[in-house]
Amino acid sequence: MEQFSPKYPWWRRWFGRRSEREAARYLRQQRFHILAVNLEDTRGEIDLLALDGDTLVVVEVRSTQSADIVRVMESVDRAKQKKLTDAATRYLGRKKLLGKINLRFDILAMTWPSDAKSPTIQHIRDAFPAVGRFQMFN
């Protein structure tokens, strides 16, 4: 009998969820309104969905225990940007909001060394444009 094996080990999922909670806290302090956390469908996930004024913001949260925040930011490559664009397009389509709301993609990168109580956060607003077929809705 084959055992279920999650995609990532428990400690990596724990670290990611902890980082997403910290990211949501940070965004609330910046006056964002958090709409959803870990918004999943069968083809992808949006870490955080928030409102910044009248703009819907898809926030990709990236974190590491090392001090190399640049590497963390660069991990949101073109392929990841396309996945996020596709996930946002599916969400907007389900909610009948395509072309009716401003959309922005932010990256919230954090370094969280094991001896630190809180992370160092770098928030990149409007980090990339929509990628792929439906970028005209951005």
d(Cα 30, Cα 40) in Å, to the nearest integer?
25
**What is the per-residue burial (b if ≥16 Cβ within 10 Å, else e) of 74-83?**
eebeeebbbb
d(Cα 108, Cα 26) in Å, to the nearest integer?
10
15 CB-near residues (< 8 Å, 6+ apart) = 63, 65, 112
Bridge-partner residues for 51, per DSSP? 33, 56
Average pLDDT over residues 95-117: 89
Q: List pLDDT tens digits, range 18-40.
A: 889 999 999 999 999 999 998 98
What is the dihedral sign for C-alpha 26, 91, 80, 105? negative
Contact status, residue 76 vs residue 60, Cβ threshold 8 Å: yes
Q: Supply the pLDDT for residue 1.
A: 41
The region of weakest confidence among 8-12, 32-36, 117-121 is: 8-12
3-state secondary structure (DSSP) of residue 138: coil
Q: Supply the pLDDT for residue 78.
A: 93
Average pLDDT over residues 53-61: 96
Task: Indicate if the pLDDT at residue 136 is higher than 60.
Answer: no
Q: Supply the pLDDT for residue 132.
A: 77
Q: Supply the pLDDT for residue 5.
A: 47
Average pLDDT over residues 54-78: 88
